[in-house]
Amino acid sequence: MIEILRLYLEREGFSVYSSLTAADGLQLMEELNPDIVLLDLNLPDTNGFELARRYRAISEGILIFISGEKTKSTIIQGFEIGCDDYITKPFDPPEVIARIRANLRRTGRSTGNNLTVGDLLINFSDKSIFKKGERIDLFAKEKMLLFHLAQYPNQVFSSDQLYDLIWGMNSDADLKTVQVHVSTLRKKIENDPKNPQYIQTVRGFGYKFSDNI
């Protein structure tokens, strides 16, 4: 299964590293800091959930479980740990590619250049943000929110759309969390959060990232 996935992924332009144990997998994660991890639950030396927790402690990369475990409680546990997607066996490799591409689009990792607007620089390659040359540290959801909006400048997204894209339709949060994260994000990137230049409110519709500065 690993070799079949390797053929499909390399054909799509991905660099692929694989391991058969959690111990070797963790070593690869720490050495390479991969953008995407495909992880089975049934590993010979430990449960895949434990390795997922270790990965989440060091990276905000895309984490996708591929498992024969299909119970609702297991799938929910996977998302609670922080996976971005859960694929059950048997599966078709093209489905895995499609899921990876969807998550890349959602997180903004598919774009390999920079966006400079005003005194803000957004690096889509390494997911870093700089304001007036100083690096800005954002929480994971704040970063996902910013990168998604910045990937589609001047396009308006409703709170419902942003909620589904970033928190997921099955999240226990509510729509107010979008407003809260927009507010905290503005405090970190705007010169005047009360009169935002970058993340603008389109009254009655939602939010957009403006590059007209």
The answer to whether 113 and 125 are in contact (CB under 8 A) is yes
- The answer, yes or no, to whether residue 176 has pLDDT greater than 70, is yes
Inside any domain, residue 192: yes
Inside any domain, residue 123: no
101 with 146, same domain? no
Inside any domain, residue 54: yes
- Domain end, chosen from 107, 124, 149, is at 107
> Is the full-model pTM beyond 0.85?
no
pLDDT of amino acid 111: 41
- Radius of gyration of the chain from its Cα atoms, rounded to whole angstroms: 18
- Domain end, chosen from 107, 126, 156, is at 107
Question: Residue 37 belongs to what domain range?
Answer: 2-107
Percent of the chain with pLDDT over 70: 93
24 with 98, same domain? yes
Choose the weakest-confidence range: 5-9, 104-108, 121-125, 202-206: 104-108
20 with 100, same domain? yes
Domain count, the chain: 2
Choose the weakest-confidence range: 82-86, 98-102, 123-127, 169-173: 169-173
Question: What CATH number does residue 146 fall under?
Answer: 1.10.10.10
